[in-house]
Amino acid sequence: MAQSGVNLAGLIGSRICHDLISPVGAITNGLELLEMTGAVQGPEMDLISDSVNCAEARIKFFRIAYGAAGEQQIGRAEVVSIFDDLNRGHRVRAEWCPAEPVLRSETRLAFLALQCCETAMPIGGEVKIEESSGNWRVTGTASRLAVDPSLWEGLSNPAALVHVTPAQVQFALLPAVAADTGRRITVETTETQVVIRF
């Protein structure tokens, strides 16, 4: 049975994240046991614990952004929990505004749009994700943006996207996933703000 490139990439992403989440979870459990016994304490333990929590949050984020997206819904509490962990010590702070559960496929688009915004914020900023009547708006705001016109044009015009690096893969995947779900990406940029709508 043939698979589209987007579906195959999603299955690969899901498999990788599935295989990584178990050992990271085991490390978390081991750290909790060490804390309970009091055998290891201090800044080293805090550093390891923070790093493991960040890794776990990133895997959960990547599982939604790059994994296979069914039609199940994702609740606000799950997304906010991921964002809370990611926001700790990160240069870009993300805010999830939808109050009601949303389709995983739509959450996937929002997460990919968030990653696009992050690339334009080398010194940090804020990304706000909003939804109203099925229309999504992902707004990145920073005092200084570094917008690569060729990447951003490729979101609304995929034919204009010639080459992406591994760090820019979200710019190729977002319009492809949007097309698969019957949506179109539009982009607006100013000196201090980027807005992605779908």
Give the CA distances from residue 174 to residues 26, 33, 81, 138, 184, in Å, rounded to whole numbers and listed in that order.
Answer: 32, 40, 23, 13, 10
What mean pLDDT do residues 184-191 have? 95
Average pLDDT over the chain, rounded to whole?
A: 87
> Which residues, other chains included, contact 163 with Cβ-Cβ below 8 Å and sequence gap of 6+?
none
Number of domains, the chain: 1
What is the reported pTM?
0.85
Q: What is the pLDDT of residues 71-93, one digit of tens each?
A: 899 999 999 999 998 998 789 99
pLDDT score at 140 = 98
Helix (H), strand (E), coil (C) string for 56-81? HHHHHHHHHHHCCCCCCEECHHHHHH
**Amino acid residing at 101:** P
Does residue 171 carry a pLDDT above 80? yes
Does residue 56 carry a pLDDT above 90? no
- Spatial contact of 175 and 152, defined as CB atoms under 8 Å apart: no
What mean pLDDT do residues 42-49 have? 76
The parent domain of residue 98 ranges over 5-197
pLDDT score at 8 = 63
- Rounded Cα distance between 161 and 19, Å, is 32
What mean pLDDT do residues 171-181 have? 93
pLDDT score at 119 = 95
In DSSP terms, which residues pair with 193 in a beta bridge?
A: 141
What mean pLDDT do residues 141-149 have? 95
Give the domain CATH number at 82. 3.30.565.10
pLDDT score at 2 = 42
